[in-house]
Structure 1
Amino acid sequence: FLFFCNHPSCTTLRSPFSRIFLYSFFTIGIVSTVVGNFLVVLSIAYFKQLQSPTNSFVMSLAVADCFVGLVVMPYSMIRTVEGCWYFGSLFCKIHSSLDVMLCTASIFHLSCIAFDRFYAVCNPLIYSLKMSHSRVALLIAVCWAVPMLISFGPIMLDLHIASVDFPFPEDLCVFLVSRIYAVMASLVAFYLPMAIMLVAYWKIFKAAKRQARQISAMESQMAAGVGKDSSKKKRHRNTMRRERKAAKTLGIIMGVFLIFWMPFFTLNIVDPFIGYSTEVVVWDVFLWLGYINSSLNPFLYGFFNRSFRDHILLMYMLYSAIFDIFELNIKR
């Protein structure tokens, strides 16, 4: 940031080749984010079999991530590649507000999905009571309302830069925040949802291990007296397989979330306390890591689910058949 403060007229320092490469790379990421999340939304909206409480959170998550790809990432791409902001100071505030709101909404939805899965696995008898349609709607409303409150209000009123004395050039859109806003916003937007996810998935993992052992015990009783030794070995293998699968699934979900968002929110808190001395390229790398999480969510919460894959394949075949019929009629 100090580099840009000393250069009031910003000019791109990238070669034509690097600009083409970066635009191509970011465009692929934007398209995959929009298309992947749109397919999730379309699948849940079209097929009633997919319309469950959990998938309500997944659908709302996909809407948030889709908007990240549509209205946030394209302008961030231009800012990152060109090193300049061509859209005015007012739209800089709007873009920053949308960025904070949509990314925070995405993270909130991830914690709600973890909370929903916790009740489904650990308390299945009261799941339908705890996750009624009205309660799911309320949680989704909170997932959108709280991010809006911590983004548009403070940013549009410049409360996020209270006590920040750096000058802000007209041709740059640098998102600096005060120490108070950095700590409070990061706690609400990331660390609190992260804690919810860690606790929920840890309890789910323990419940999955317990259920795997109970299933193995039932299998051993059914196979008692018939191939006792081989049955015991098979039971042990099945238990280990179930436990590894549960650990792998939950590990991937939490690992991806932490890898792609932890660097940004850690730096977001640290940077105001070290005089905003972090290089712009570091900010860009960490920010785009967070954006990539929005492109991976459809695969983690949608396409890894066999039911989702089957319905998306069915929808693709249906639309392909309609397109072929339409094309055939045109040729005639």
Structure 2
Amino acid sequence: MCMTKIEKIHRKGFTTMRYLRIGIVCTVVGNFLVVLSISYFKQLQSPTNSFVLSLAVADCLVGLLVMPFSMIRTVEGCWYFGSLFCKFHSSLDVMLCTASIFHLSCIAFDRYYAVCNPLVYSLKMSNSNVAMLIAICWTVPMLISFGPIMLDLHIANVDILIPSDLCVFLVSRVYAVMASLVAFYLPMAVMLVAYWKIYKAAKRQSKQIMGKDSSKKKRHRNTMKREGKAAKTLGIIMGVFLIFWMPFFTVNIVDPFIEYSTEVVVWDVFLWLGYINSSLNPFLYGFFNHCFRRAFIMFISCRVCLPGISPGMELSHSKKEKN
């Protein structure tokens, strides 16, 4: 017997929800592993990883507080939680996504000083400065999300009536342009400039070490190799973030100027592309960074509970490599 149209719709919805649930679990578990690893192992506690830790908290909150309700909205096509919670959910969504890219801007800033100005790095990235930057990464996104959205300032001069059983994030032209510039395009420009300067500095310094004696050359080469690898890893993470969020922020600006004619399916696809990015960062850390990879394995296999495993242990080399 052929499957009816309703049965096909239900099966498609069930399949979609299953994949989205997998994405949510990966987002929460992966980012929680990052938080555990940096919090537990002293070797991972650095200025750069302070930003990575805070970024992982933001991504983990996306998986816990934002994605489950968005999943129900996407699959069911309706909103069952009331207009007030719709505003709260939208505010939280905007805040956490903006916080993510702000953290990546700070990571680019941190890498710029580590590679281009290493002599002033410890001064510029002191504990107090890192704490201040992380506070900015959370405060500014909160101001551009909760304030305007909860007070309906983001839909000023928008005359479209939204049914009570829908949660559609419409924004005015002014808010779309200003919020997208602050949350995405300006930080993107900062990151691209920072990594371009890092790339040029790395090429210049690689030529300079050619004339040094062998011992100094070796130490400098090892330092540059370590910093270059960190910059490359974080640059890839940043690039993935930009690729996955660029479609959403582009449509977010364009949609008010084309009378909100973008299809709901397009919005959902672009939004979930951005959400999926929150689940990718931990896998990128594990793939490109040996220390994170070892820390993840130790937590997943519960080896952190074994004797001899301490927060101060060396993650860079295994016992075989040390011998």
What SS does the corresponding residue of 2:166 show, helix, strand or coil?
coil
Could you say which residue in structure 2 is the equivalent of 1:6? none
Query: 1-side partners of 2:129 and 2:236: how far apart?
Result: 28
CA 1:88–1:319 in structure 2 vs 1: closer, same or farther (change >3 Å)?
farther
Specify which of 231, 236, 261 is matched with residue 245 of structure 2.
261
| Residues 233 and 288, structure 2, Cα contact 8 Å, conserved in 1 | no
Could you say which residue in structure 2 is the equivalent of 1:284? 268
CA 1:85–1:57 in structure 2 vs 1: closer, same or farther (change >3 Å)?
same
Matches within 5 A, 1:196-275: 196-216=190-210, 218=212, 249=233, 252-275=236-259
Deviation per residue, 1:31-72 (Å, 9 max, x gap) = 111011000000111111211111100000000000000000
1:47 counterpart = 2:41: yes
CA 1:251–1:129 in structure 2 vs 1: closer, same or farther (change >3 Å)?
closer
TM-superposed deviation, 1:210: 2.0
TM-superposed deviation, 1:297: 1.7
TM-superposed deviation, 1:15: 0.6
Specify which of 306, 315, 322 is matched with residue 290 of structure 2.
306
| Residues 298 and 304, structure 2, Cα contact 8 Å, conserved in 1 | no
Deviation per residue, 1:61-113 (Å, 9 max, x gap) = 00000000000001001101111001111110010000000110011101111
TM-superposed deviation, 1:248: 6.4
Matches within 5 A, 1:64-103: 64-103=58-97
Query: 2-side partners of 1:126 and 1:59: how far apart?
Result: 23
Query: 2-side partners of 1:59 and 1:250: how far apart?
Result: 13
Q: CA RMSD in A?
A: 2.7
1:124 counterpart = 2:108: no
Query: 1-side partners of 2:169 and 2:7: how far apart?
Result: 21
| Residues 285 and 292, structure 2, Cα contact 8 Å, conserved in 1 | no
Structure-2-length-normalised TM-score: 0.84
Runs of 5+ unmatched residues, structure 2: 1-5, 218-224, 307-323
| Residues 160 and 181, structure 1, Cα contact 8 Å, conserved in 2 | yes
Query: 1-side partners of 2:60 and 2:31: how far apart?
Result: 5
Specify which of 123, 131, 137 is matched with residue 131 of structure 2.
137
TM-superposed deviation, 1:311: 2.5
What SS does the corresponding residue of 1:15 show, helix, strand or coil?
helix
Task: Percent identity, please.
Answer: 77
1:35 counterpart = 2:29: yes
Query: 2-side partners of 1:257 and 1:219: how far apart?
Result: 41
TM-superposed deviation, 1:185: 0.3
Deviation per residue, 1:143-170 (Å, 9 max, x gap) = 0000000011100000000000000101
Could you say which residue in structure 2 is the equivalent of 1:159? 153
Q: How many residues end up aligned between the 2 structures? A: 295
TM-superposed deviation, 1:269: 0.5
CA 1:87–1:319 in structure 2 vs 1: closer, same or farther (change >3 Å)?
farther
TM-superposed deviation, 1:209: 1.6
| Residues 96 and 175, structure 1, Cα contact 8 Å, conserved in 2 | yes
TM-superposed deviation, 1:293: 1.3
| Residues 31 and 56, structure 2, Cα contact 8 Å, conserved in 1 | yes
User: Which letter does structure 2 place at the counterpart of 1:192?
Assistant: L
| Residues 65 and 106, structure 1, Cα contact 8 Å, conserved in 2 | yes
